[in-house]
Structure 1
Amino acid sequence: MGFIWLAFIGSSWGADRNRIADGDARTIIETAKKEIGVREYMENGGPRVDQYNAYVGVKKVAWCASFVSWCFGESGYAQPRTPWSPSIFPADRIAKNPMAGMVLGIYFEHLKRIGHCGIVLEVRNDWVFSVEGNTNLNGSREGDGVYRRTRHVRSIHRFANWITKTRTLP
């Protein structure tokens, strides 16, 4: 009986994936959470959505990556800064073990690429809790606002860690 207890205590059982990858990630997470409820007033537009897109130098485009970039920028990070979701996942940023504060990428077969991204809030067992822009309650990549989402880890194609080596503030 003692051996089973010790094995259980000694195992991570997924619990360490709930920790935040870096203390500074809390700022990114809090920034993203404050945006929950932002909605488009027109397709890919509206006062706040226009701010996300302006941050990356574009107007009236699908804005999930603009939202992610804006959240990192508001948190003092220089990167990522792009409106193109595939570019948030370069090889040197790919993470195998998702943690809070990382970026998730959803692959779309008909696009043959990552076509949507969001910020990981928490990982519990096989479930990833996130905040995502340009989505909706159904999880579409052509959504109408910023929502909290729950996705199974198998539905996520990639995770990217932008927390390390990109902070611009002391």
Structure 2
Amino acid sequence: MHYISPQRPWLILLMSLALLWFIGQTADAQNRSWYSVHRSFSEGVEIASSQFQANAGIVSRNDERTTRAKILSIARSQIGVREKTGNNDGFDVEKYLATTGLGAGYAWCAAYVNWVYQQAGICKPTSLQAWSPSWFPPERTYWSVGENEYQPPMPGDVFGIFFSSKGRIAHVGIIEDWNGKYANTIEGNTNDAGSREGDGVYRKIRLKKQISKVSNWIKI
């Protein structure tokens, strides 16, 4: 028969309590470490996302209305600009073209749109800003005549007109208003007749059926 010291159960109890305390401290430290890493990761993702949106020039939904108003204000400020000699030249025309890397002599309707958007803080992420069709990639085009007409175009968005002689969209401008059968627009490189080879920046009233596509470069 073995003799058990009456002090030994207390010793075992104390050792057990000490072990439980140690395990609790270790788990708490691990939780704090995980939370710190998780928080740092989350903040890093948020910062990276914000930087990406800023670099792309895309505004948040909260700023969309303000940005649209700014685009229209800038576009309207240029109404009345005219070419110097009628050959795609002049101070203002050349400042539009400069935003696309081009100089005097090139068609500039898309360059005008690009300049307006840059002034509003939106930089189109492509090197083909002067090429009218480049303003209508599938992911940005939300209205097409005879196809996707369920969502009315918004002020400040970009419209394109298809020319059968070119086999492509060959003229672009900015939607000012969308009412009934007509669209009020602001366009560069046009004229009173609505040509794609005009001499200045004009406010136009166009039949909606003239417009082929509308794209949104403002909203996320």
Residue of 193, 212, 218 corresponding to 1:138: 193
Structure-2 separation of matches of 1:153 and 1:80:
28
Name which one, 1 or 2, has greater alpha-carbon Rg: 2
Q: How does 1:56-95 map to 2 (within 5 A)?
A: 56-59=100-103, 60-79=105-124, 82-95=129-142
Check 1:80–1:70 CA distance in 2 against 1; reply closer, same or farther (3 A cut). Answer: farther
Report the residue type matching 1:164 in the other structure.
K
Structure number with higher relative contact order (C-alpha < 8 Å, ≥ 6 residues apart): 1
2:74 aligned to 31, 37, 44, which one? 31
Which aligned runs of 4 or more in structure 1 are off by greater than 2 angstroms? none
* TM-score normalised per structure 2: 0.64
Aligned residues: 145
SS class of match (1:69): helix
Q: Distance in 2 between matches of 1:143 and 1:85?
A: 15
Q: Considering fraction of residues, name the structure with more helix.
A: 2
**Matched residues in 1 for 2:156 and 2:98: separation?**
23
Give unmatched runs, 5+ long, in structure 1.
1-20, 166-170
Within 2, Cα distance between the matches of 1:23 and 1:98?
17
State the identity %. Answer: 41
Aligned to 1:112: 167
Q: Which amino acid in 2 is paired with 1:68?
A: V
TM-score, normalised relative to structure 1:
0.82
Is the CA contact 1:22–1:163 (under 8 Å) kept in the aligned structure 2? no
| Equivalent position SS for 2:219 | coil
Equivalent-residue separation in structure 1 for 2:210 and 2:82 (angstroms): 25
**What residue ranges of structure 2 are gaps of 5+ in the alignment?**
1-63, 144-151
- What is the one-letter code of the residue matched to 2:139? D
1:45 pairs with 89, 100, 106, which one?
Answer: 89
Q: Residue 32 of structure 1 aligns to which amino acid in structure 2?
A: A
